[in-house]
Structure 1
Amino acid sequence: MTELSGSYDDPFAPPLAALAVLDDRGAVVGWNRRAEELLGHPGAAVIGRQAFEVLVDPRDLPALREAAASCRRAGGWFGVLKVRHRDGRLVEMGLRAQTFSRDDRVREWLVAGAPAADVLAWQRDRAILDGLYHQCPIGLVVHGPDLKVLRVNRAVERFTGVPAADFRGLPTGCMLLPDDARKSVDRVRQVMETGRPLIYSEQFARLESDPARERVALVSAFRMEDRSGRVLGVAEMIEDITGRHRAQRRLALLDQAGSRIGTTLDVAETARELAEVMVPHLADHASVDLLEPVTWGEEPARALAGPLVRVGACGIGAQQPGPPHGEGAPVEFAPDTPQSRCLAEGRPVLEPVLSSDSFSTESRQGTHAPDLGAHSLIVVPLAARGLVLGVLTLWRSSRPDPFEADDLILAQELGSRAAVAIDNARRFTQQQQTAFTLQSSLLPRAVPDQPAVEVALRYLPASAAPGLGGDWFDVIPLSGARVALVVGDVVGRGIHAAATMGRLRTAVHTLASLDLEPDEVLSRLDDLVTLLAAEQEPFGERPVGEQVVGATCLYAVYDPVSRRCSVARAGHPPPVVTGPDGQAALLDLPAGPPLGLGGLPFEAREIDLAAGSLLCLYTNGIIGERNVDADIGLSKLCAALTRPADELERTCQAVVDSLVPAHPSDDIALLIARTRMLPSEDVASWQLTLEPVAAARARALTSAKLTEWGLEHLAFSTELIASELVTNAYRYASGPATLRLIRERFLVCEVSDTSHTAPHLRRARTTDEGGRGLFLVAQMAERWGTRYTREGKTVWTEQPLAGTLT
C-alpha cells in the first residue's frame, strides 16, 4: 500500500498488517507472512529470538523500552519506529501494540505494523472523511440502494434544521415538498441505475418546514461501489447557492433592464418597458404611476401636487394591476396607502406581508390588490434630478416567496435608471411640443380666400424622427387676382429648423408682396439663407449644437386671367400637373441649386394651365422613405393623381393614404391646387395711347364698364384712380399704356406701361401745386402697389365691392 492509493482500508487490519506476537520477555513467538514481506525476515529466523536484538536499532532501544513500559501501564501503544530490515536498512513502520493474557500467568503482546506512509495516508483519509461529515460546508447525503438515507453531514443538518441522526432510514427527498421530492428521487435513481455522475446540476427546491422560500442548490452525485462492483448507493454533494443565484439573477435583470428600458423617447412606452422588465423576473405584477404633468412632458411641481396616471402595467395571467379603465386612467391613493407614503416621503416602502387591511384600502383606491391575491408589496419612488416623477409598485402573488431587502435594493436601482429614462423622454416630449407649437404657429392656420385656385393642404409630422422638420407650405394672394403657391423644406430638425422655417416663410411673404418673379424670389431667399448661415458662424466656426442652415423651395405664381403659371424651384422635387383629362406628369423644370449655396442662378418656366387642372406641390417625405427609391415614389404620386376625385380634399387624402406609411420617418407637406379661370365678362382691358386726352378716355371707359357691372357706387373713386394712374404713365412713360379692370372679391384697377420707374407716395405741402395724385389714390383704394414685368411695370389698386373707403 502506498500513499497515492488513497484507500480507506485500515492498514492495521489482519489481511494488510504485519503481525508479530512477543512473550513477556520480548521474544518473538509469532510472525505472519505480511511481516516477512515487509521486513524480509522469515519466521524461522526471528521466532525465539529477542525482538530488540533482531528488529530494533540499538540507538532506538531507549525509546522502545519506554514504549514497552507505557504499553504495560496502559495496555496498549501506538507510534512510529524504525525497524531493521533483513538487508540492514531501516524501515519506518507505524506500530500498534496491545497486551493480552493467555492465562493469569502469561502475558503477551500483539504488535501490528504497516509502512508509515500507508498509516499516514489512512489517517489523512480518515480525517477527510470525518471532515466531510462534521466540518464541510457543502452538504453530503448518502443514499442506500433502497433509496433511503444512510447518513448526512452537519451541513445538511444546518440546511434543513433537522438533526443529522434523524435522517437515517428516511426516504430520499423526505424533507422536500412533494414535487421537489419526486424530482430528487428521480435524480438519485438515475445516477444509481446508469452510473453516470451528476456534476453541478442546478436544482430548485422548497423544504416542507419553509415552503415560502425557494432554495437553489448545486447538486453533484456519483454511484458508490465496492471492489467487486456491487452498488452500495449514491452520494450527493449539495451546495446551497440561493444567495449567489439571486445575486446573479439580479445582475442579469439589471443588464436586461439596461437594454430594454429607454429604447424610445416616449414617456408611456418607457413606463411600459419598466413594468414588463419587472415581470416575472422580480414580481408577479407591476404598475407604473406617473404624475399627470409628466405624461404631458411638463416638469412636475416639487410639492407633488396633481393626480397620478397609470401609464404602465404588466402581470402574470389575464389579470392586470390597475384601475378599471386600464392604462392611461387616473389613479388616486388614500393617505395611508404605501404609494401615498412613498410619494410624500420620497422613500421606498417594503411590506413583506400584506394584511387584509392593506388589501381593502388598496381596493378602494383602484390598485386591485385583492383581485391579484398579492401577499407582498414594494413601492419605489421614480425620482430623477431631484424631482419625483411617480411611483413603481410591485406585487407578488403567484410565487410564495415574500420580497426581501435585496429585492428592494434591486427595485430602487431599476427605478432610478428608469426614472432617468422617463425624465429624458419627458424632456424630449417637452422639446417636441415646443417645436411643434412653434411650427404650428408659423404654418398657415387657414387658406386665404382668393379666386385663382381651390386648395387642399396636408401637413404630417414625422413620428419617429428626433424632432420636427422644417417643411412648410403657403398660399399667398397676389395683385391682379393672382396667387403664389409655395412649398419648402429646411435642413435639420427641431426648434432650429422650425425657427428657420418661420424666417423663410416671413421672407417669402415679404418678397411676394413685392410681386417679384419666381426666380427672383428664390434668388432673394438664397441671399437670406446665406446671411442666416453667416450669423451662425461669426468667427468662422459654427457653434456647437447649431444646425447647418439650408433649404429647398418651390415657388409658383398662377394668373387666373391668362391661365399662365410661372414656376421656379431651388433643389426641390418638381411639381406634378394633372390636366382636366386626368393625365398626370411631372413638370419639366430646371432643378436649381438648394438655397444657401449662393451665387448660382435660378430659372423659371411658364406654362398654360387649363381651368380645372391640378398642380401638386410636396416635400420629399411623401415620395420616399430613406429605403425607397425616389423615382418609385414619384411614379406612385403620379398614379394617385391620375384619377382625381371631384372633391379636392378626397384627392388629397387619397394621395396621403397611398403614399404615406403609418409612421413616416420624415415630415410631409402636401399642397394640391385646382386652377380656376376668371370669366371673361369679369375682366375688361383697354390699350391707351399716351396723349393728353388719355386720362379723360380712361375715365369714360371706367365709368361705362362699372355701370355695366352695376358698380356705379364705385364710379367716382375708380375714375379718379384710373385718371391719376394714366396721367402718371403719360408723364413718365413712353409707348402705349394698358388699363385693366377685374371684378372679383375686389374691384381691381391696373395701369401698365413700359417704364420701370416706380411711383412714390409723398405728402405735398400746402403751397405745392402737384404731388397729391398718388396720395389720393392711396386714400381711395384699400390696397395699392407696383409689380414689375419684363416689359415694364403695373400699378394696381384694390377696392372692396361694398363701397368706397371713407
Structure 2
Amino acid sequence: MEHDTARARSARAYGIHSLIVVPLLARGTTLGLAVFLRHRTPDLFDTDDLLLAEEITARAALCIDNARRYTHERNTVLALQRSMLPQRTSPYVAVAVASRHPSAGSGSGAGVGGDWFDVVPLSGGRVALVVGDVVGHGIQALATMGRLRLAVRTLADMDMPPDELLTHLDDLVLRLADRADREEGPGAEEMQTAAAGEIGATCLYAVYDPLFRRCTLARAGHPVSAVVAPDGTVDFPELPAGPPLGLGGLPFESVELELPDGSLIALFTNGLIESGESGADAGFDRLSRALTASDSTSSLEQICDNVLDALLPGGVPSDDVAVLLARTQGMDASQVAIWDLPADPAVVAQARQMATDQLAAWGLEEASFVTELVVSELVTNAIRHAVAPIQLRLIHESSLICEVSDASSTAPHLRRARVFDEGGRGLLLVAQLTQRWGTRHTPHGKIIWAEQPFPTGH
C-alpha cells in the first residue's frame, strides 16, 4: 500500500494492520482478487485465517463463474432466438400486422423458450398467419422451433390447407423425436432426454383470403385465437383443438370464418393468458377487455402494447410469449376480374382478348404480351386436360396474378420438351416469363396461378 498514497492514508485512518490477498480462481481462470483486512482487533491473520479465506474465495469464484457462464449462454440463446424470428414485418396487401415477443425473465427459472410466430405471403394475394410453442427451453427448444418454422414456410409455399399442413408438421416432430432417441455420440444424453418428452409443440395456422374475405384456421393443441369485429366485439371462435404436434395418428380439422374488412385477428401463445395466478380463463377475460378497450382508430402497435400491459403488468413474463395481431384488408372489386369459360377450344382467343381489355382498363398495357401467353397456356391446358367448370381470374394487387381454376385434382408438371416433341413447352415458357407460378388444390378441384411483377413505372 505504500505505493498508493490514498490507500495508505485510509489504512492508517482505519487502523488496518493485517492483510490477505487471494486470487479468485475458477476452472483455471483468474476472475479477480479478494482482499481481507483486519483493523478492529490487534491480532494478525494466521495460517488458519488464510485457509478459511482460500475456501471462501474458491466457493465465491465458482458462483461468480457460474453466473458469468449463465449470462453468456442466456445472451447467446436470446441472440439465436431473435435471429430465428421475423425482425420486421413487410407490408402485405391482405393484412396489416404487428407483433411482440417478450422473453422470460432471467429470474423465472424457465429459461428462453421456443415460442414463435410468422407471416407467410401465399399465392393469390392470400397470407398465412402462424404461431407456435415448442415444449421445453434452451438450445434444444430453439433448434426444434427453427426446424418447425422452416417446415411451415416450405409447406405453406406448397399451398397446403391448414389441416394438411399440421399433419405434415406432426410427422416432422415424430421423426425428430425418433432420431433423437437413436442419437449416439456427444450430446446423445440430452437428445434422448428431449425425445422422452421434450420434443413436442403446439401450433395454430391460419390462412386469410382477401378476395373472399375468409379465414381458414386449424390448431394443434394451441390456444384459440381472438377475433375482434369492426364494431369492437371480441369473440374466441370454437376451433377443433387437435392433438399437440408429436403424438401422431390423430386428425386435424379446420374451420372457415367470414371476416369483414377491418377485423382484427389476435394469435398468441399460452404464456400470455397463463401469466397470472388465476388461470387461463381469467387470462382470456383480461385479453378480451384489453382488445375491447382499443378502439378502431388505435394502431396495431398500440394495441400490442395495451395487451402486454394488461396481461403482463410486470413487463417480464414468467414464460416466453408470442403475440401476432393482423387487421384484415379485403380486395376491392375493381382489383379483380373473373370470367367463367366453357370447355371449348374456341374460347381461348376470347379469353386472351378479355384479359387484354382488362389490362388496358388497369393501365397495364405493357404486361399484355406475357399475360396473353399465360392466359392462352393455362386456359388451353384446362380445356384439354381438366374438367369443367373452368374459370379465369386476373388479380391486380402488389403484382399481376393470373389464375385458372377447374374441377380436376390432377396437377400439371413442368418438363423440358425434346426437340421433336409437339407439346410440353407451354409451362416452361410460363415459368420463364413470370416471377413464379404454382398449383393449389381446393375442395372442388385446383387452381393454376402465375404471378408477374408490374411493368416499370406502375
Q: What is the TM-score with the length of structure 1 in the denominator?
A: 0.53
* Change beyond 3 A, Cα 1:440–1:539: closer
Aligned residues: 443
Which residue of structure 1 lines up, in the alignment, with residue 271 of structure 2? 621
The alpha-carbon deviation at position 680 of structure 1 amounts to: 1.2
Q: For residues 72 and 22 of structure 2, what CA distance do their matches in structure 1 show?
A: 25
Q: For residues 364 and 405 of structure 2, what CA distance do their matches in structure 1 show?
A: 23
Aligned residue identity for 2:86 = P
Q: For residues 434 and 28 of structure 2, what CA distance do their matches in structure 1 show?
A: 62
Q: Does 1:545 align with 2:195?
A: no
1:545 is paired with a residue of what secondary structure?
A: helix
Q: For residues 29 and 21 of structure 2, what CA distance do their matches in structure 1 show?
A: 17
The alpha-carbon deviation at position 763 of structure 1 amounts to: 1.1
Aligned residue identity for 1:773 = G
191, 196, 211: which is aligned to 1:561? 211
Q: Does 1:501 align with 2:145?
A: yes
128, 132, 135: which is aligned to 1:488? 132
The alpha-carbon deviation at position 372 of structure 1 amounts to: 8.5
The answer to whether the 8 A contact 2:223-2:270 is kept is: yes
* Change beyond 3 A, Cα 1:698–1:373: farther
Q: How does 1:441-460 map to 2 (within 5 A)?
A: 441-460=83-102
Which residue of structure 1 lines up, in the alignment, with residue 21 of structure 2? 379
Q: For residues 623 and 481 of structure 1, what CA distance do their matches in structure 2 show?
A: 32
Q: Does 1:358 align with 2:4?
A: yes
Q: How does 1:653-664 map to 2 (within 5 A)?
A: 653-660=305-312, 661-664=314-317
Q: How does 1:470-489 map to 2 (within 5 A)?
A: 470-489=114-133
Aligned-residue sequence identity (percent) comes to 53
Which residue of structure 2 lines up, in the alignment, with residue 667 of structure 1? 320
1:440 is paired with a residue of what secondary structure?
A: helix
Q: For residues 754 and 482 of structure 1, what CA distance do their matches in structure 2 show?
A: 21
Q: For residues 336 and 12 of structure 2, what CA distance do their matches in structure 1 show?
A: 79
* Change beyond 3 A, Cα 1:371–1:803: farther
Q: How does 1:329-340 map to 2 (within 5 A)?
A: none
Which residue of structure 1 lines up, in the alignment, with residue 171 of structure 2? 527
Aligned residue identity for 1:588 = E
Which residue of structure 2 lines up, in the alignment, with residue 227 of structure 1? none
Aligned residue identity for 2:305 = Q
2:97 is paired with a residue of what secondary structure?
A: strand
Q: For residues 482 and 674 of structure 1, what CA distance do their matches in structure 2 show?
A: 13
Superposed CA deviations along residues 457-498 of structure 1, whole A, max 9, x for unmatched, are: 101111123431110000000000000000000011100000
The alpha-carbon deviation at position 396 of structure 1 amounts to: 5.3
Q: How does 1:216-615 map to 2 (within 5 A)?
A: 355=2, 357-360=3-6, 373=14, 375=16, 377-395=19-37, 399=40, 401=42, 404-405=45-46, 406-463=48-105, 464-538=108-182, 543-546=188-191, 547=194, 548-615=198-265
Which residue of structure 2 lines up, in the alignment, with residue 201 of structure 1? none
Q: For residues 518 and 638 of structure 1, what CA distance do their matches in structure 2 show?
A: 25
Q: For residues 98 and 15 of structure 2, what CA distance do their matches in structure 1 show?
A: 57
1:687 is paired with a residue of what secondary structure?
A: strand
Superposed CA deviations along residues 602-633 of structure 1, whole A, max 9, x for unmatched, are: 11000011111110000000111374311011
Taking only aligned residues, the RMSD between alpha carbons, in angstroms, comes to 2.2
The answer to whether the 8 A contact 1:621-1:666 is kept is: yes
The answer to whether the 8 A contact 1:689-1:735 is kept is: yes
The alpha-carbon deviation at position 437 of structure 1 amounts to: 2.5
Aligned residue identity for 1:554 = L
The answer to whether the 8 A contact 1:713-1:803 is kept is: no
Superposed CA deviations along residues 705-724 of structure 1, whole A, max 9, x for unmatched, are: 10000000001101110110
The answer to whether the 8 A contact 2:24-2:30 is kept is: yes
Q: For residues 803 and 753 of structure 1, what CA distance do their matches in structure 2 show?
A: 32
Q: For residues 403 and 718 of structure 1, what CA distance do their matches in structure 2 show?
A: 96
Greater shift, 546-555 or 483-492, is seen at 546-555
The alpha-carbon deviation at position 447 of structure 1 amounts to: 1.6
* Change beyond 3 A, Cα 1:751–1:369: farther
Aligned residue identity for 1:428 = Y
The alpha-carbon deviation at position 429 of structure 1 amounts to: 2.3
Q: How does 1:6-155 map to 2 (within 5 A)?
A: none
The answer to whether the 8 A contact 1:624-1:633 is kept is: yes
Q: For residues 693 and 683 of structure 1, what CA distance do their matches in structure 2 show?
A: 24
Q: For residues 340 and 209 of structure 2, what CA distance do their matches in structure 1 show?
A: 20
The answer to whether the 8 A contact 1:571-1:591 is kept is: yes
Q: How does 1:751-790 map to 2 (within 5 A)?
A: 751-790=404-443
Aligned residue identity for 2:304 = C
1:524 is paired with a residue of what secondary structure?
A: helix
Unmatched 5+ residue regions in structure 1? 1-353
The answer to whether the 8 A contact 1:435-1:467 is kept is: no
Which residue of structure 2 lines up, in the alignment, with residue 681 of structure 1? 334
Aligned residue identity for 1:772 = R
Superposed CA deviations along residues 317-341 of structure 1, whole A, max 9, x for unmatched, are: xxxxxxxxxxxxxxxxxxxxxxxxx
Aligned residue identity for 2:447 = T
Q: For residues 420 and 448 of structure 1, what CA distance do their matches in structure 2 show?
A: 47
Q: How does 1:687-706 map to 2 (within 5 A)?
A: 687-706=340-359
The answer to whether the 8 A contact 2:217-2:256 is kept is: yes
644, 651, 657: which is aligned to 2:303? 651
Aligned residue identity for 1:492 = G
The answer to whether the 8 A contact 2:20-2:45 is kept is: no
Q: For residues 465 and 428 of structure 1, what CA distance do their matches in structure 2 show?
A: 12
1:460 is paired with a residue of what secondary structure?
A: coil
The answer to whether the 8 A contact 2:131-2:269 is kept is: yes
* Change beyond 3 A, Cα 1:454–1:539: closer
* Change beyond 3 A, Cα 1:374–1:773: farther
The answer to whether the 8 A contact 1:374-1:395 is kept is: no
Q: What is the TM-score with the length of structure 2 in the denominator?
A: 0.92
Q: For residues 501 and 676 of structure 1, what CA distance do their matches in structure 2 show?
A: 29
Aligned residue identity for 1:662 = G
The alpha-carbon deviation at position 390 of structure 1 amounts to: 2.0
Superposed CA deviations along residues 672-709 of structure 1, whole A, max 9, x for unmatched, are: 11111111111111111110122112111110010000
Structure index of larger Rg: 1
The alpha-carbon deviation at position 790 of structure 1 amounts to: 0.8
Q: For residues 387 and 776 of structure 1, what CA distance do their matches in structure 2 show?
A: 65
* Change beyond 3 A, Cα 1:372–1:589: farther
Larger relative contact order (CA 8 Å, sep ≥ 6): 2
The alpha-carbon deviation at position 587 of structure 1 amounts to: 1.5
Q: For residues 740 and 748 of structure 1, what CA distance do their matches in structure 2 show?
A: 8
2:136 is paired with a residue of what secondary structure?
A: coil
The answer to whether the 8 A contact 1:551-1:594 is kept is: yes
The answer to whether the 8 A contact 2:275-2:311 is kept is: no
The answer to whether the 8 A contact 1:459-1:668 is kept is: yes
